[in-house]
Amino acid sequence: MPVISYFILSAILFTIGALGVLIRRNAIVIFMSVELMLNAANLAFVAFSRLYDTLSGQVFVFFVITVAAAEVAVGLALIVAIFRTKQSIDVDDMSSLKR
Amino acid sequence: MFLSEAASSGPEFFYLVPLVVLIPVIGLLINIIFGKWMGEKAVGWIASAAAGLAFLVAVLLGYSLIGHPEGAVVPLAEWISIGEFNVAWAFQVDTLSVTMMLVVAGVGALIHIYSIGYMHDDVRFNNDPGRYRRFFVYMNLFIAAMMILVSADNYLMLFVGWEGVGLCSYLLIGFWFEKGEDGIGNALAAKKAFVTNRIGDFGLMIAIFIIFWAFGSLNFEEVFAQTSQVAETVILAITLLMLVGVAGKSAQIPLYVWLPDAMAGPTPVSALIHAATMVTAGVYLITRSFPLYNSAPQAQFIVAMVGGLTAFFAATIAVGQFDIKKVLAYSTISQLGFMVAAVGIGAYAAGMFHLVTHAFFKALLFLGAGSVILGIEHSHHHLEHGEHEGEGGGEFDPQDMRNMGGLRTRMKTTFWVYIIGSLALIGIFPFAGFWSKDEILLEQQMLDPPVYGLLLAAAILTAFYMGRQVLMVFFGKPRSEATAHAKENRAIITFPLILLAFFSAIGGILNLPRIHTFTDWLEHTVTTIHPVEFSFLTAVVASIVALSGLVFAWFIYDRRYKKQQELPAEKRPDDPLRQIFGPIFTALENKWWVDELYWVLFINPYIKFSYFLADVIDWRFWHDWFHDSVIVRSYNGLARFLSGPFDLGVIDGIANGLGKVTVRFAGSLRMIQTGFVRNYALSVFLGVVIIIGYLILR
């Protein structure tokens, strides 16, 4: 299978993630879309690593996974905290600063 | 001559000349600073000593001049020095100035001594003994100023003295400034003298300005040396304007009106300043400026005419006066007219000679009048104290001749010296006035017959009014209680009188016909004069004129007066002349209404003009209209415009506009801030896309 198909998949995944972030209102779903975008990037890293036959891309992926794990922990904690105060995780409700 | 030989080999004292000014100044300073703690006597004697020492210096100068008649200029200090133009404090010592110094200091010293006695009583009659010292300070100041006037070697320094004596005159006329008519009469008299003199000084100042403009110098010698190079009209203007100054200071028509009022001052002042010395400054000025006058014959004609008219006009008024000092005041004006008429025709020696003899006998007459007044005032106060209440002291006038009479036996010394003074003034042989007046008449007869006629008429009037005065004061019966009890004054008062009487009697020897000592003496300075031959005819005519005046006076004031005294009091006229001349006498008594005429012609219009300026121009136009209306209103209008339309409209508009624009702009920016996270995410996303797109596609 040629390497280009991995890039195409990566692009499709990123686009789906980006659209998910922009369109969806459920914080959990947005969160998952962010994860999708991160993993699309990971896929692109690995693909390039394979293409140029270097390891630095793979090392980056490890870092990204680690950061994503930390991000998930913080993000979920925020969502729980928001839910406790607002009884909702709809991001459109989170506009107190505007008023 | 032995004297002149001794003097020419003897020492010169010219360098002493600054002392004639300095000594009186030192005298007055001592009296100002220490006078408070010194007795009255000491103050008076220090002042007299200052005048006496000044006289001594003048004598030394005169002695030096006998040997060195060319004189000298003694520079003291540089005064004004601008480029080529120099004015110095320098003293001119020549026969003319020393003659004046001798008269000023000599007569001045005698009058100072007289004042010691006179002012002692005067300050007590006026209830202010503290003013005794002030009087002598002023008198010394006058001597100093007069010395500056006569010893100046340039017109500017002369002008300083000229103004200085004017100031002293003002101060001494107003010496009892809170007394007089309505408590302001003396102050008004002083003001009148000062203002009238100011008009004259204005003329003199302009004359000095023109001299500076035409000659480029104010020094006598330099100016006179260039006289022939200057246009005649310029010299005519200078001399005529100088005549205005002379008319002011020497009381000539039309500015003589201040001198009779100046009699408000104490009598020694009238004698020293307003008879003997200061008023002769004008005669001195013309004599000093003789090269200018000699080259302006028209001016000389006018000067002589003014002098002749004044001599006659003032003599007529003197006939109708009742105040003993006013008669002498008008007599002084008349005699000054003689002098001015003489110097006007170039007879400078005759004018100056008359100035000297007049200083003697007029000072004598004034001091004699003062003695009379003092004697009457003494007995008046004595009587008042005797009766405890009296008839109200304010009403009695010790100077009114209608209250006098019969003093011949009561004040013997005063009577005899007064007779000598009167005869000298009238011009009876061999008294001083005869020689000097005769010389003037002689010169006038030859050079200016119309003025000669005027002077002859004045001479007969002089004899008449002096006869009238002597008869009214000293003869007949006393016409008031105070006069009846009058006694002779102390020796300090009579001693100067006797000395002056001596000089009045023998003053003629100064310039006897054929010998001409005085003319020769003056000729060293006033080079154009020549001795005139004595004319027997003129002397006889003058004597007849004088005697006829006397006889006429005797006829009216002795014979007729006595008859009238027998009439009942209400029918008795106060003066026999009133019966004879009626309205004319009233006119004389009222001085031809010249003062009133001046009021109508000059003073009232001037006051009205002042009111117009003050009320209409200054107050209504300038203050009310210009300030209040124009300036204030336009200022208010401008302020209102600035605070209203401009501040509220423009300035606030700019500020508010900026605010509104900011608000509107912020409002439109606010639309972006939706508060929806997705929108922000979209922005970030689009931003990243744009940046990356740019990075890729560039």
pLDDT in tens, B183-238: 888 999 999 999 999 999 999 999 999 999 999 899 999 999 998 888 999 999 99
Confidence of residue B1 (pLDDT cuts 50, 70, 90): very low
Residue A42 is predicted with a pLDDT of: 94
Q: Name which of B276, B246, B272, B275 is nearest B259 in CA terms.
A: B275
Question: What is the domain partition of chain A in residue ranges?
Answer: 4-94
Question: What number of C-beta contacts closer than 8 Å exist between A and B?
Answer: 25
Interface test with A, best of B669, B670, B676 (most A CBs within 10 A): B676
Contact A92 B676 (CB under 8 A): yes
Buried b (16+ CB within 10 A) or exposed e, B4-21: eeebeeeebbbebbbbbb
What is the CATH code for A4-94? 1.10.287.3510
B184-192 contacts, C-beta under 8 A, 24 or more apart: B185/B264, B186/B264, B186/B265, B188/B261, B189/B258, B189/B261, B189/B262, B189/B263, B189/B264, B190/B264, B192/B257, B192/B258, B192/B261
Q: Name which of B372, B253, B379 is nearest B305 in CA terms.
A: B253
Q: Is the pLDDT of residue B4 over 70?
A: no
3-state secondary structure of B226: coil
- Residue of chain B nearest A25, judged by CA positions: B678
Average pLDDT rounded to a whole number, residues B64-69: 88
- Residue of chain B nearest A96, judged by CA positions: B675
Q: Is the ipTM of this complex over 0.95?
A: no
A47-71: per-residue pLDDT in tens? 999 899 899 999 999 999 999 999 9
Q: Is the pLDDT of residue B662 over 60?
A: yes
Interface test with B, best of A14, A15, A19, A22 (most B CBs within 10 A): A22
| Alpha-carbon distance B631 to nearest alpha carbon in chain A (angstroms) | 59
Contact B678 A18 (CB under 8 A): no
Confidence of residue B391 (pLDDT cuts 50, 70, 90): very low
DSSP secondary structure letter of residue B35 = G
Q: Are B35 and B43 in contact (CB under 8 A)?
A: yes
Q: Are B469 and B388 in contact (CB under 8 A)?
A: no
Q: Which residues pair with B82 in a beta bridge?
A: B85
* Backbone phi and psi for residue B671, each to the nearest 5 degrees, phi listed first: -60, -30
Q: Name the residue facing B676 among A21, A95, A99 (closest C-beta).
A: A95
**Tokens, residue B145:** 């100023």
**Tokens, residue B612:** 């117009």
Residue B316 is predicted with a pLDDT of: 93
- Residue of chain B nearest A92, judged by CA positions: B676
Average pLDDT rounded to a whole number, residues A19-40: 90
Average pLDDT rounded to a whole number, residues A10-26: 91
| Alpha-carbon distance A95 to nearest alpha carbon in chain B (angstroms) | 5
Q: Name the residue facing A94 among B673, B677, B685 (closest C-beta).
A: B677
Q: Is the pLDDT of residue A95 over 60?
A: yes
Chain A residues in contact with B682 (beta carbon < 8 A) = 22
B508-562: per-residue pLDDT in tens? 888 888 888 888 888 888 888 888 888 888 899 999 999 999 999 988 888 877 7
B423-473: per-residue pLDDT in tens? 999 998 889 999 999 999 998 988 888 999 999 999 999 999 999 999 989
Touching check for B685 and chain A: CB below 8 Å?
A: yes
Interface test with B, best of A19, A21, A96 (most B CBs within 10 A): A21
Contact A21 B678 (CB under 8 A): yes
